[in-house]
Amino acid sequence: MEDLEKWVAAGDIAREVLGKALDLVREGVRLLQLAEELESYIRRMGAQPAFPVNISVNEVAAHYSPSVNDEAVIPPGAVVKVDVGVHVDGYIADTALTIALSPRHAALVDAAQHALREALSALKAGARLSEIGSAVERAVKARGFKPISNLSGHSMSRYVLHSGKSVPNVHTGARERVRVGEVYAVEPFVTEGAGYVVETDYGAIYRVLSVRSTGIRELDSLLRDLWRKYRGLPFSERWVYREMGEEGLKGLRRLVSIRRVYLYPVLVEAGRGAVAQFEDTVVVTRRGIVNTTRVLELCRR
Ligand code: MN
Ligand code: MN
């Protein structure tokens, strides 16, 4: 696979960033400061964020990235998920870890690590994607927790974060198989709650859906600008605000209302149970699986 080294390069940087997150996450730290520090670290290493750094606390499962004036801080005893996306020339690494600030959540975090380990050993060319879901479900339930059934891993391709195939976290019976040449983000989510997530009515992560003309010159120009910078990858309202100020945010909201831009709703656990997540990016080659992020090695440090 000729582009393997680019997927690997993105993975190396993403792992460095998560290593930094391990040092920085502690009680009282502002989520805004943490996200900005990690994103600027990505840029300093010569890569770009493939999406805004997600920092999801306790029962928040995914898609929380600090907004422009976010005041939130890491609360005492929190379970903190840091999910990082890095791209080098469109080649993406998507990786996440969970830090428990209280020993009360150690078993939950351990179950999520175990689930990722089992998912990775089930993932090979020719395997059914559903078998990976079964492996995750079995691993998690054996530890007395629940997998989150409506969150899944995903295939990726250059500049595309979700390129069509899902890696379930429960048994689904789906017949699709893993193929040589594919790239997957594998991400079991584990909870002590109800086992599924629901949408909230807030969010700060966006993605261009269509560049079809809006009929309004200023909006078309903003839309083209966003497409040129991010293509179909998710971006933060913070990045728009930094470059275009309040006007940019206003335009962004109008583009959401006419469905040229998608706003990702923050996802919370339906039973308000704490959630843990670990995620790796793997490339399926003829010679086997190449794990570009190896997040579990980082956690053994
Ligand atoms: Mn992720
Ligand atoms: Mn992912």
pLDDT of residue 174: 83
pLDDT reading at 182 higher than 90: yes
Q: Which two tokens stand for residue 86?
A: 């890095």
For residue 243, the tally of other CB atoms under 10 A from its CB is: 10
Same domain, 114 and 215: no
pLDDT of residue 54: 98
pLDDT of residue 127: 96
Whether the CB-CB separation of 143 and 110 falls below 8 Å is answered with: yes
Same domain, 182 and 277: yes
Same domain, 160 and 227: no
pLDDT digits (tens, 9 = 90+) for 75-96: 999 999 999 999 999 999 999 9
pLDDT of residue 271: 98
pLDDT reading at 228 higher than 60: yes
Q: What is the distance in A from the centroid of ligand 1 to the CA of 138? A: 22
Q: What is the distance in A from the centroid of ligand 2 to the CA of 217? A: 35
Same domain, 246 and 146: no
For residue 297, the tally of other CB atoms under 10 A from its CB is: 10
Same domain, 157 and 181: yes
pLDDT digits (tens, 9 = 90+) for 32-58: 999 999 999 999 999 999 999 999 999
Ligand at shortest distance from the CA of 84: 1
Same domain, 86 and 39: yes
pLDDT digits (tens, 9 = 90+) for 99-115: 999 999 999 999 999 99
pLDDT digits (tens, 9 = 90+) for 107-155: 999 999 999 999 999 999 999 999 999 999 999 999 999 999 999 999 9
Q: What is the distance in A from the centroid of ligand 2 to the CA of 223? A: 25
| Number of domains making up the chain | 2
Same domain, 259 and 279: no
Mean pLDDT for the stretch of residues 181-187: 97
Same domain, 105 and 21: yes
Task: Give ion ligand 2 contacts, CB < 5 A.
Answer: 94, 185
What is the residue range of 240's domain? 205-264
Same domain, 277 and 255: no
Mean pLDDT for the stretch of residues 270-298: 97
pTM for the model stands at 0.97
Mean pLDDT for the stretch of residues 221-246: 96
Same domain, 88 and 27: yes
Same domain, 248 and 187: no
pLDDT of residue 2: 66
Whether the CB-CB separation of 235 and 241 falls below 8 Å is answered with: no
Q: What's the count of helices (H) and strands (E) in the chain, helices before strands? A: 7, 17
Same domain, 175 and 293: yes
pLDDT digits (tens, 9 = 90+) for 200-214: 999 999 999 999 999
Q: What is the distance in A from the centroid of ligand 2 to the CA of 77? A: 25
pLDDT reading at 297 higher than 90: yes
pLDDT of residue 1: 62
Q: What is the distance in A from the centroid of ligand 2 to the CA of 187? A: 6
CA distances from 70 to 77, 186, 204, 238, 271 (A): 20, 29, 10, 10, 25
- φ, ψ for residue 41, nearest 5 deg: -65, -40
Average predicted confidence (pLDDT) for the chain: 96
Ligand at shortest distance from the CA of 97: 1
Mean pLDDT for the stretch of residues 207-232: 96
Catalytic residues: 83, 94, 154, 162, 187, 279
